[in-house]
Amino acid sequence: MRSFSARRGTCGPALRHLPTPNYKSHRAPRSRAIRQSKMADAAAGPGGSGTRPGSKQSTNPADNYHLARRRTLQVVVSSLLTEAGFESAEKASVETLTEMLQSYISEIGRSAKSYCEHTARTQPTLSDIVVTLVEMGFNVDTLPAYAKRSQRMVITAPPVTNQPVTPKALTAGQNRPHPPHIPSHFPEFPDPHTYIKTPTYREPVSDYQVLREKAASQRRDVERALTRFMAKTGETQSLFKDDVSTFPLIAARPFTIPYLTALLPSELEIQQMEETDSSEQDEQTDTENIALHISTVGSPFLLLHSTPETAYPTLGPCPCELNCP
């Protein structure tokens, strides 16, 4: 928003100068006339950012805005043409020139922004514009003289006819005023309710019964949904031959090590246990530490094992070697 407005703001001085890119028009008679005007040889790109004006009237404020801008530029082009001595122009030529003007101005804005950001600033200064213009091959020195030419035409501000046509259904609060860098003719801020955040708090439910009810049904719903899902996605068993979906039982699947799931508390339970008795946990770890301390003392099961060098004498030949086929 800021860079856009900045670009807009710096457009002023160049507005009356019509640089024309080297544009080959198939409309021959008018292109000759155009070439008579001062032409800048530095060509901007074909101004892709411009919005094509729609032929049909759009109610969209953004489209309206584009249309207005376009119209202003057309006025500028027309007045420049008049200044240059044209009495009439084909619509297509005017359109083309408008397009070129728009591209040129956009390019100035874009480059100026780049220069300004290159120097770690957010707002372009005059020198940014100057460097831009120089870079684009424009002789800056000629600009003051051109600006002070006698026969120049003054263009009025764009009409504010394209104000949002839809009547405000709801006006809530004061609209925020424009910050200083935005010209006052620019559209107003939207209604505050569209962007102002109001944190809201639900009325806390304090009724015990409702809470319990809620917790119970919530858990039940989750469990039901989960088990149903599991049943739907996996193998099931049924108690009724004719109906497999009303009471689907997740099929029994044997475990490879059944005692682990049966004996070890589930993660949920572990978590719960940690929550409920953190105080006793401390006590327990204390005793565990003692246990660890003691356990290192001389249990034969925890001693280092002898290596074969100190091997125990014995063990005759394995009968397996003797007798097994």
Q: Which of residues 149-208 bind other proteins (CB under 8 A)?
A: 208
With vertex at residue 29, the alpha carbon angle to CA 26 and CA 30, rounded to the nearest 5 degrees, is 80
Using CB under 8 A as the binding rule, whether residue 322 contacts other proteins is answered as yes
Kindly tell me which of 150 and 314 has the beta carbon lying closer to other proteins: 314
Closer residue to other proteins in complex, CB, 199/254: 254
Q: Give one DSSP letter per residue of 83-111, joined into a string.
A: HHT-S---HHHHHHHHHHHHHHHHHHHHH
Tokens of 55: 């032929």
Rg (CA), the chain: 42
C-alpha distance from residue 20 to each of 85, 100, 143, 155 (Å): 17, 6, 16, 20
213 binding other proteins? (CB under 8 A): yes
Token pair for 59:
């109610």
Q: What are the structure tokens assigned to 227, written together? A: 């088990």
When asked if residue 286 is in the footprint of other proteins (CB under 8 A), the reply is no
Nearer to other proteins, 156 or 246 (CB): 246
**List 1, 120, 170, 262, residue binding other proteins (CB under 8 A):** 262
Binding segment (CB under 8 A) for other proteins, from list 73-81, 133-141, 192-200, 248-256: 248-256
Q: Does 242 interact with other proteins (rule: CB under 8 A)? A: yes
The distance of closest approach from Cβ of residue 202 to other proteins in the complex, given in angstroms and rounded to an integer, is 22
Binding segment for other proteins (CB under 8 A), chosen from 27-35, 106-114, 153-161, 300-308, is: 300-308
The answer for residues whose C-beta is within 8 angstroms of residue 164's C-beta and 6 or more apart is 61, 187
250 bridge partner residues: 236
Q: Does 285 sit near other proteins (CB under 8 A)?
A: no
The CA-CA-CA angle for residues 217, 223, 225, to 5°, reads: 100
Pairing of strands 236-237, 249-250: antiparallel
| 318 scored as a contact of other proteins (CB under 8 A) | yes
Beta-carbon count within 10 A of 40 CB: 19
Backbone φ/ψ region at 311: left (φ over 0), alpha (ψ -120 to 50), beta: beta
Residue 48 or 258: the one with the smaller Cβ distance to other proteins is: 258
Q: Is 221 in the site for other proteins (CB under 8 A)?
A: no
Residue 206 CB, nearest approach to other proteins (Å): 12
Q: Is 12 in the site for other proteins (CB under 8 A)?
A: no
Pairwise CA distance, residues 176 & 190, whole Å: 8
Judged by CB under 8 A, does residue 233 bind other proteins?
no
276 touching other proteins, by CB under 8 A = yes
Contact of 94 with 74, CB cutoff 8 Å: yes
Supply angle C-alpha 315, 317, 320, rounded to 5.
120
Report the site for other proteins in 82-121 (rule: CB under 8 A).
none
Nearer to other proteins, 114 or 237 (CB): 237
Stretch that binds other proteins, among 4-12, 24-32, 53-61, 252-260 (CB under 8 A): 252-260
225 near other proteins, judged by CB under 8 A: no
278 sits near other proteins (criterion: CB under 8 A): no
Residue 126 or residue 264: which is nearer to other proteins going by CB? Answer: 264
